[in-house]
Chain A
Amino acid sequence: MIQKLERKKMVITGDYAAAYGGMISGAEVVAAYPITPQTLIVEDFATFVNDGITDAEFIMVESEHSAMSACIAAQAAGARTFTATSSQGLALMHEMLFIAASLRLPIVMPVVNRTVAAPIGIWCEYNDSMPQRDTGWMQMSCEDNQEVLDMVIMSYKIAEHRDVLLPIMPCLDAFILSHTVEPVEAPSSDEVAQYLGKYEPVAKLDTENPMAIGTFAPPEYIQELRYHNHMAMENAKRVIREVTRDFARTFGHDYHGLIEEYRCDDADVVLITIGTVTGTAREVVDELRERGKKVGLVKLRFYRPFPREELQKIAERVGAIGVYDRAVSFGSGGPMFIETRHALYGHSIPIMNFLAGIGGRDVMKKDVEKMFEMLLEAKEGKTSKEIVWIGTRGVTP
């Protein structure tokens, strides 16, 4: 139970938005361990508990591994759960992420994207969440603090959908969102309660109806489970599109499904971005449009499930596609670039990868301009470069 909270406008950090989202969504058990820059989420939630705004059980565990373990257990016992982490903490959880997804437990965990050591760094990089690609979690990125709050609420709706039943990590950029205040509109607790309803697990640990969860299983059974997980992730695409439409009708904020297009309709080239760089790229698109360049932007919201169908439609009408990545799969390229190329197999247009902002370095308007400039060259066949490191000392883009 939570206290009655009115609809209100707050000026809050991304971390507060994440914590508020978990609280107002009615998380019943929270197990978390603090790590910069996720710390504020844990602190804010502890304040909600200690001020009696929520009567959620808060387990202050001794590690992220235990945080995820306890959330899995609580969710298996029928509770709606919430946790949050970042960077090294997410890496420590890695083992348990597979188990959460394979037990089909709709856990919601905001991840504040931060560099994974070495060297130790605390700023924004996606080399913490993107390597979790194959754990079976849904993964998406937010552009601003409003999206963080809205997305945490929507995460429960998507994850708990009977055709999905998968855990989800809505991600937010370290410091750029986590520690930066922005005005955010919060719905009332009644509205959210009505929107989400009560969590009704398909199966749970219950002595009235004993069953086993997570038993030892031979090869005769595991392959089918993996298939069902795969299909659940495919189903999630439809559910995400439905949920964002429904959310827009209910709360007035439209996130357009798995991707959001910006001035793409008549674009010669488009750049795919993720996270807060999208805001910078929007301005650059407007400026280039004023100079007569027909450029567009695709804000990729979901990395898993990957919006294959949406990107294929865009590829049919543009001359070149660029993919911005804030992480690298060493020896291959940016993770989003690899996914995009896979999704667009068979399309003959140039697809370029721009690596920038690695380790939390600022991505400036001039960096994005450079990306569009190279994309326009690629469209004309003037460059055949594929993987381009922007703003790297000693490397010419």
Chain B
Amino acid sequence: MNIKDLSDEILFTPGHTACAGCGAPPIVRNIMKIFGKDTIIYTPANCLLVFGGTYPYLAWKVPYFHEAFENTGACISGVARALRKQGKKTLVVGIAGDGGTYDIGIQALSGAAERNEDVIYICYDNEAYMNTGIQRSGSTPYGAATTTTPAGTKIPGKLDHKKDMAEIMRAHEVPYVATMSIAHQRDFLEKAKKARDVEGFRYLHIISPCPTGWRFDPSLTIEMSRKAVDSGMWTLFEAEYGEITNIYKPKKKIPVKEYLMGQGRFRHFTPEMVEELQRWVDHKWKRIYGEEP
């Protein structure tokens, strides 16, 4: 794919009210360049719902729809079936956050995947409930301070590790699963294109750094995405019908400490906590790449 050939048409327009440095707008704007105008977007409750448009303003140039929080899988199923009945080939896309995917939305998501609905489900993952003010989700990494897992004197942040949602979706053996990062733009666009062209259930999972919730300099969003991948905290892969077909391996693996350092949510980390997170990353690395890090 040649990035130069991408459409100039912007289907998610400027003027939205996302925080400076938010990872979601570049994700959405770029992915819409691949998906194009014949697309219907559903968003459950999340930041994107609010900053993408508060009536009577709207950043979307395509049909756009919201019902509730926990049901993205069911809502996109309903739209897709109605369109199939009308003989239309419109792309139906749900864009949920990590809370709407890992936690409250996992049941409807799993149901839609099992039925192999002809839709694309996107999880933009900023690792907490950012829309409601940074509460922990099933995606929040170990030790991170959120407003519901504060770095207290007794309990230092979140005690549980991040759930491997992409693996759960891979286990559904759907036509296409891909994990993505906006720091890896060609890879990002190619995966988006592949998702567009495959039929059946497609799951795209994109790391979406959040300067407000992670507490880092808003100019470093792309760098945070890259460091997440280079440290092994986030892994880029593709899977078709449950089989992994492509894994991106960073040229040089950086210590997890380098990823943590610029983020306020990890500021309270003791050496033992860094070690625990490194142990988790190393274990995952070995599982994915089949070799010691």
Binding site for B on A (CB under 8 A): 28-29, 31, 56-57, 59-63, 65-67, 69-79, 95-96, 99, 205-207, 210-218, 221
Contacts and interface: CB of A to CB of B under 8 A. Distances in A.
Given A29-B85, A95-B68, A216-B54, A65 B79 contact: no
Given A96-B68, A217-B55, A221-B55, A70 B62 contact: no
B205 to A, nearest CB: 21
A210 B39 CA distance: 10
Interface of A, secondary structure class, is mixed
Contacts of B74: 31, 59, 61, 65-67, 69-70, 73
B71 A215 contact: no
Top 6 closest A-B pairs, CB basis? A73-B78, A62-B111, A66-B74, A70-B78, A77-B82, A69-B71
A96 B67 contact: yes
Given A61-B77, A66-B108, A73-B77, A212 B67 contact: no
A73 B84 contact: no
A56 B78 CA distance: 12
Interface of B: 37-40, 42, 49-50, 53-56, 58, 60-68, 70-71, 73-79, 81-86, 90, 107-108, 110-111, 114-115
B110 A213 contact: no
Nearest to B54: A216
A213 B65 contact: yes
B279 to A, nearest CB: 36
Given A62-B114, A63-B111, A96-B68, 10 more contacts: A62-B110, A66-B111, A73-B77, A73-B82, A77-B78, A211-B63, A214-B65, A215-B54, A215-B66, A216-B50
Interface of B, secondary structure class, is mixed
23 contacts: A31-B77, A65-B74, A65-B108, A69-B68, A70-B78, A73-B42, A73-B78, A75-B78, A75-B82, A79-B81, A96-B71, A205-B40, A205-B65, A205-B79, A206-B63, A210-B63, A211-B63, A213-B65, A214-B67, A215-B54, A215-B55, A215-B64, A218-B54
B86 A210 contact: no
Contacts of A75: 78, 82
Contacts of A79: 81-82, 85-86
Contacts of B56: 221
A71 B55 CA distance: 24
A224 B78 CA distance: 28
Given A31-B74, A57-B84, A207 B107 contact: no
A77 B68 CA distance: 16
A302 to B, nearest CB: 27
A197 B84 CA distance: 21
B78 A214 contact: no
Contacts of B61: 210
Contact of B81 (A57, A99, A213, A216): A57
A207 B65 contact: no
A77 B67 contact: no
Contacts of B114: 62
B50 A59 contact: no
Contacts of B64: 210-213, 215
Contacts of A65: 70-71, 74, 108
